[in-house]
Amino acid sequence: MEYEAYLPMAKKKLEQLCDEIREKWNVGPIVIVHRIGTVHIAECSVAIVIGSVHREDSLLAVHYGIDRLKETVPIWKKEFFADGTIWKQNALDSCCQKTKETSHHH
């Protein structure tokens, strides 16, 4: 897989996501990392680490964080198949019509 992002907007949306999480739960440090570029099968593409005094707060916040990241952060995933490639978009992009598709037949 290959990931692309509009970095200035992605960083802004990640900061907003951290603010949302802090409004909903009593959490400490938040770290969200999403890889850009080529990510091979079985490699991690995203990591979310959230510290909290109570385990439930951090677990709920991580679950919320990954869902909102996929909905709001402008990151595109290109998947490679034997018969071609396809770009997948997050929910934010579906309303903006930024679908990218290419197909290569060998």
Q: Specify the CATH number for the domain of residue 68.
A: 3.90.1170.40
- Domain holding 20, by residue range, is 2-76
Strand residue runs (E) in the chain: 2-5, 30-34, 37-38, 46-50, 75-81, 84-88, 101-102
Has residue 84 been placed in a domain? no
Is residue 105 one of the residues assigned to a domain? no
Q: How many domains in the chain?
A: 1
Model confidence at 97, pLDDT cuts 50, 70, 90, reads: very low
Written as six digits, the tokens of 71 are 């909905």
Tell me the torsion sign for CA atoms 46, 20, 59, 53: positive
Residue 9 has pLDDT above 80, yes or no: yes
Report the range of poorest mean pLDDT among 3-7, 33-37, 58-62, 96-100: 96-100
Q: Does residue 32 fall inside a structural domain? A: yes
99 has which bridge partners?
Answer: none
**81 domain-assigned:** no
Each residue's pLDDT tens digit, 82-95: 666 555 555 443 33
Neighbours of 14 (CB within 10 A): 20
- 51 inside domain: yes
20 occurs within a structural domain = yes
Q: H/E element holding 88?
A: strand 84-88
Angle 69-71-77 from CA coordinates, rounded to 5°: 75
Residue 68 lies in a domain: yes
Of residues 76 and 17, more confidently modeled: 17
**pLDDT tens, residue by residue, 18-69:** 999 999 999 999 999 999 999 998 999 999 999 999 999 999 999 999 999 9
Share of the chain above pLDDT 90, in %: 64
